């Protein structure tokens, strides 16, 4: 199995998740809105990392399996499970194939802020399609492809108004941020919105709902531009 970049930053990433208000104020509420009632549902968290969202699902009554390619992140997830057991199963596996998971197993699939890390993201959609039960659903979150890309910048004018300047949207490919955060450490793959949606359709999913949340609270104070432009996109889809 290939080396996972997140293994090199596992402890830093865990601290980053726990200390960044965007996860509790923007990402978590949006995910919970899209997944809906998960009581007694069997859910797979693809690229679960250190298990932060897997735990949120389990707290709400879901039976959760998390898989990830980063062994060190899974170690952290299992440590959380030992400290506060929720019955979550964590497995080392590649989400592009998920060979450890049988077909038609899950009521729901989640994939949170991971597709940008994966070159063959189409394979992740195929994995989700394979392991879903009939009538199941897929919810995934990505950095917003229209606004979070290599040459995008926040600009503040003389009156203090913040806007987002975007350049190079049509140029897809890997990149690395120079402004700190996760993307400065592991990079990302920029893709157009149409690339994501067309790939979803190719995997025989139909779009049900999208969210582009406006930030508030501490996140909006920290990044005022998120009151005007979203940094994240959330999608719920069902297999045809």
The full set of domain ranges for the chain reads 5-144+190-217+231-239
* Cα–Cα distance, 103 to 96 (Å, whole number): 14
For the stretch 45-60, pLDDT in tens is 999 999 999 999 999 9
Q: What percent of the chain has pLDDT over 90?
A: 83
* Cα–Cα distance, 216 to 213 (Å, whole number): 9
191-197 CB contacts, 8 Å cutoff, 24+ apart:
191/121, 191/145, 192/145, 193/145, 193/146, 193/233, 195/145, 196/115, 196/121, 196/142, 196/145, 196/235
Q: How confident is the model at residue 70 (pLDDT cuts 50, 70, 90)?
A: very high
Predicted confidence (pLDDT) at residue 2 exceeds the cutoff of 80: no
Q: According to CATH, what is the number of the domain 5-144+190-217+231-239? A: 3.40.50.150
239-to-34, 40, 80, 141, 216 alpha-carbon distances in Å: 16, 21, 33, 17, 33
For the stretch 134-143, pLDDT in tens is 999 999 999 9
Reported pTM: 0.95
Q: How confident is the model at residue 202 (pLDDT cuts 50, 70, 90)?
A: very high
Predicted confidence (pLDDT) at residue 201 exceeds the cutoff of 70: yes
For the stretch 174-191, pLDDT in tens is 998 877 788 888 889 999
Predicted confidence (pLDDT) at residue 158 exceeds the cutoff of 90: no
């Amino acid at each position: 199995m290939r080396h996972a970049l997140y293994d090199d930053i596992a402890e830093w990433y865990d601290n980053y998740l726990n200390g960044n208000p965007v996860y509790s104020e923007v990402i978590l509420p949006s995910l919970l809105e899209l997944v809906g009632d998960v009581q007694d549902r069997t859910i797979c968290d693809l690229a679960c990392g250190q298990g932060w969202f897997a735990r949120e699902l389990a707290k709400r009554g879901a039976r959760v399996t998390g898989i990830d390619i980063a062994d060190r992140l899974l170690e952290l997830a299992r440590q959380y499970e030992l400290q506060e057991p929720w019955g979550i199963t964590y497995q080392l596996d590649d989400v592009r194939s998920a060979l450890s998971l049988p077909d038609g197993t899950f009521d729901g699939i989640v994939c949170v802020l991971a597709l940008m890390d994966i070159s063959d993201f189409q394979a992740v959609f195929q994995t989700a399609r394979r392991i879903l039960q009939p009538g199941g659903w897929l919810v995934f979150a990505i950095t917003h492809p229209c606004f979070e890309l290599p040459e995008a910048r926040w600009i503040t004018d003389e009156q203090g108004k913040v806007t987002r300047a975007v350049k190079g949207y049509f140029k897809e490919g890997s990149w690395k941020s120079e402004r700190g955060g996760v993307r400065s450490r592991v990079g990302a793959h920029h893709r157009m919105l149409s690339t994501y949606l067309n790939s979803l359709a190719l995997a025989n999913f139909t779009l049900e709902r999208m969210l582009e949340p406006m930030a508030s609270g501490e996140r909006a104070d920290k990044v005022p531009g998120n009151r005007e432009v979203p940094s994240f996109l959330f999608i719920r889809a069902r297999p045809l």
